[in-house]
Amino acid sequence: MLKRLRSGLLAAMLLCVGCAPGGVVVHETAPAALSAWGLMTSDGQQLQLGAGVTPYQLNATLFTDYAHKLRTVSLPPGTQATVMPDGRLDFPLGTVISKTFFYPRVSGALVQVVDAESVLDASLGRNGGLDLTQVQLIETRLLVRRSSGWVGLPYVWNATQTEASLEVTGDIKSLTLVHQETATATDFPYIVPDQNQCAGCHNTDTASRQMNPIGPRLANLNRSLTGKVPDLNQLDYWQQLGILQLDGTVADQPRLVAWQDATQNLNDRARSYLDSNCGHCHSSTGAGDTSGLYLDIGTNNPVRLGECKLPIAAGQGTGGHRFSIVPGDPEHSILVFRMQTRDPGAMMPELGRSLVHAEGVDLISAWIAALPGHCS
């Protein structure tokens, strides 16, 4: 099944090169039905992206209970995103970013896929969309750029996968995930965030109280597109589409490594993972600044990054440990404990997961194990 998902990618990208812009309707008042946006349509068998809707991929992704994500962006016809000094993109008014969460489905069971590359590949979907006989759609979250700023809208898919409806108060779905290799079944509550909780992550600057996109930043978009032949960089592709204005060449742009990529430097992989899973809150401007722990890619002070740092107001989150990171000792590092627990009062991130991301824990543990020094 996954091979089929992968093999469809080429077709997906080629199809969308020819997409005509203008299919997306930007609503000022959120419609109850996702289909009203023109971003995607579904007959229960096939999810198709609308005209002018561009799927995109990220180097470093946020863990959400092993859900796969189909990410799209659509800009009003004739408009472009520009690059801000800090590497974030300034998307024009009327931009709609969507993220559709789904699981591979085999014989009716939702499958936890451990092959890291396939997770990335599958997020692009088939034919610019998804074969719904192979996957189960859970939710689609929208970020809409209005004149008042970005607004987050959570839509939840119905059981027949024909429509998603706006649920501003979110939802809790009882899911069972079957591990692809071990066949172990895990029950968990999948939490669809409420509209306020969108800001829990997307309000990256608490002083401004404005929401921002987190994933589609320059360094995170700077990658080759899976399925493109020959190797086509996504930033080049966006320029071809006319939706990105870039100063300088792609080669000059910053790039986050894919944390899954074992060929990359361990420190770079770990920092990329922490940036995409923690850095939106744990930065000098985010809600997590109350802890004094900054995990964004721009932070370089080791104590700020947690080395031998005392926990602040961590409560249950200490796990009984004294420091955020004890170099060489992941088992006594608060950071690892908070990734390993499923207790809502102790876990990190606070929102967006009910399961433990085993691969993320392994990566951060290996990184801490390799850090030199001690805290005494």
Partner 1 sequence: MRPLLLLLLIGLLSACAEDDKAPAAMLVTDMQKNLQLQFMNAEPGDIINIPAGLFEMTRSLSLKVDGVTVRGAGMDKTILSFKHQVSGAEGMLVTANDFLIEDLAIEDAKGDALKINEGKNIIIRRVRTEWTNGPATENGAYGIYPVQTENVLIEGVVAIGASDAGIYVGQSRQVIVRNSRAEFNVAGIEIENTLDADVYNNVAINNTGGVLVFNMPNLSQEGRRTRIFNNRIEDNNTPNFALPGGAVAGVPAGSGISINSNDEIEIFDNDLRNNQTAHIVISSVYSTNYSERDTASAFDPYPEKINIHDNRYSGGGDNPDTEYLPQLKAAVFGADGAFPNVIWDGFINTQLAPDGVLPAELQICIYNEASSAVFNVDAPNQFANPRLDELQHQCQHAPLPAIELVFVPAASQSGQGE
In the complex, the residues that contact partner 1 under the rule CB under 8 A are 168-170, 172, 189, 191, 194-197, 199-200, 203, 206-207, 209, 287, 289-290, 292, 302-304, 307-323, 334, 343-347, 350-351, 354, 375-376
Q: Record the tokens describing residue 346, joined without a space.
A: 């102790």
40 three-class SS:
strand
Pick between residue 120 and residue 274 the one whose CB is nearest to partner 1: 274
- Using an 8 Å Cβ cutoff, are 202 and 152 in contact? yes
Pick between residue 71 and residue 357 the one whose CB is nearest to partner 1: 357
Pick between residue 266 and residue 310 the one whose CB is nearest to partner 1: 310
CB of 249 to partner 1, least distance (A): 39
Pick between residue 239 and residue 318 the one whose CB is nearest to partner 1: 318
Pick between residue 180 and residue 341 the one whose CB is nearest to partner 1: 341
Q: Give the type of residue at 335.
A: L
CB of 203 to partner 1, least distance (A): 8
* DSSP H helical ranges for the chain: 2-17, 116-122, 195-202, 218-221, 234-241, 266-277, 334-340, 358-369
Measure the CA–CA gap between 215 and 218, rounded to whole angstroms: 9
Measure the CA–CA gap between 219 and 239, rounded to whole angstroms: 15
318 three-class SS:
helix
- Using an 8 Å Cβ cutoff, are 272 and 258 in contact? yes
Pick between residue 211 and residue 219 the one whose CB is nearest to partner 1: 211
> Residue written as tokens 């990658």?
223
Pick between residue 81 and residue 287 the one whose CB is nearest to partner 1: 287
Angle at alpha carbon of residue 242, lines to 238 and 248, rounded to 5°: 65
CB of 101 to partner 1, least distance (A): 15
CB of 333 to partner 1, least distance (A): 11
Beta-carbon contacts of residue 182 (< 8 Å; ≥ 6 apart): none
What are the b/e assignments for 78-102, b being 16+ CB within 10 Å? ebbbebeeebbbebeebbbbbbbbb
CB of 211 to partner 1, least distance (A): 10
Q: Record the tokens describing residue 125, joined without a space.
A: 């979907």
CB of 158 to partner 1, least distance (A): 16
Q: Record the tokens describing residue 51, joined without a space.
A: 């005209």
Pick between residue 20 and residue 207 the one whose CB is nearest to partner 1: 207
CB of 184 to partner 1, least distance (A): 21
- Using an 8 Å Cβ cutoff, are 191 and 174 in contact? no
Pick between residue 82 and residue 290 the one whose CB is nearest to partner 1: 290
CB of 51 to partner 1, least distance (A): 31
CB of 237 to partner 1, least distance (A): 36
User: How many residues are present in the chain?
Assistant: 376
Closest CA to 221 of 141, 182, 261, 276: 276
